[in-house]
Amino acid sequence: MTSTGALLRAERVTLGYGRRPVVHDVSLDIAEGGVGLIGESGSGKTTLARAFLGLLSPMSGTIRYGDRPLHKADMKAFRRDVQPVFQAEALDPRMRVGRSVAEALPRAARSRVGELLEQVGLDPALADRRPHQLSGGQRQRVVIARALAVGPRLLILDEPTSALDVTVQARILDLLASLETERLLITHNLAVVRRLCRTSHVLFAGRVVESGPTSELLSNPAHPYTRALRDAVPRLGGDPPEPKGATEAVPAATGCAFRLRCPLAAPVCERPPEPRDLAGRRVACHRAEDVLSS
């Protein structure tokens, strides 16, 4: 654990591909109670998740695992503690489900396949099937069973329910909520974080624009972008459309990156807003007080 009790921690992390930074100066803890990273495509949330999985090294700043920088950590212990949950399509189509799960287990524990399938709500008899013989929801449960096989402390889930229909999605969320394993959830669906994450961080254009208790962010957002995301997803269900204008508007190159889309943009927004503490969260917006009171 880090000094703050977090299993994983980003300290002023900038990430990018080649020389191009796409995540800027992000600091956050993956602590107890579930953590959500929220944002639309291109916000940097998946890039940040890759760094937390040790798949991408920071251009600057540090990812900490316990009390050590991740690049100096015992990677065997890390791979046991931190497991990704990929989309169900990542299952090998030629491999029987039982073998897929067994592969993730130590040799001596391979008899636990049935137990793991039961843990995720599947009939152990499905172990003999191939992925195409299962429904989308069943496949996603197999992926979760595989991730649980090594007894991780943290699951990193990237849009774990986005390909599923509403009813199946709700059941998978029930399953994830029932697990004792901690979770970092990457999504653009605020209804999903409401269910699974005590704390959330909203990213826009590679920067955290608002962080705090999920319930506060959703009931009373202080950043116009959080509010736009919340208003785009009024309830749990399906894979909601991304917020209006999400794909056509590029971030502003100077000042506040959100200003070309922001209904409250003012001359002051030509200066980049610094993150500050306000009303129990951290927010980077010059007019956060106006957002809270409107």
Q: Does 265 bind ligand SF4 (CB under 6 A)?
A: yes
- Residue 103 vs 289, nearer CB to ligand SF4: 289
Q: Does 259 bind ligand SF4 (CB under 6 A)?
A: yes
How crowded is residue 21: how many other Cβ atoms within 10 Å of its Cβ?
17
Q: Does 285 bind ligand SF4 (CB under 6 A)?
A: yes
- Residue 24 vs 287, nearer CB to ligand SF4: 287
Give me the numbers of helices (H) and strands (E) for the chain, helices first please. Answer: 10, 12
DSSP-derived 3-state class of residue 291:
helix
Lookup result for tokens 């962010």: 217
Q: Does 262 bind ligand SF4 (CB under 6 A)?
A: yes
Q: How far is the CB of 222 from ligand SF4 (least distance, A)?
A: 9
- Residue 180 vs 277, nearer CB to ligand SF4: 277
With contacts defined by CB under 6 A, how many residues of the chain interact with ligand SF4? 12
The angle that helices 166-178 and 136-148 make with each other, rounded to 10 degrees, is 20
Q: Does 269 bind ligand SF4 (CB under 6 A)?
A: yes
Give the Cα separation of 260 and 265 in Å (integer).
8
Q: Does 205 bind ligand SF4 (CB under 6 A)?
A: no
Mark out the alpha helices in the chain (DSSP H runs). Answer: 45-52, 75-81, 97-103, 113-119, 136-148, 166-178, 190-196, 214-219, 224-232, 288-293
Binding site for ligand SF4 (CB under 6 A): 224, 256, 258-259, 262, 264-265, 269, 273, 285-287
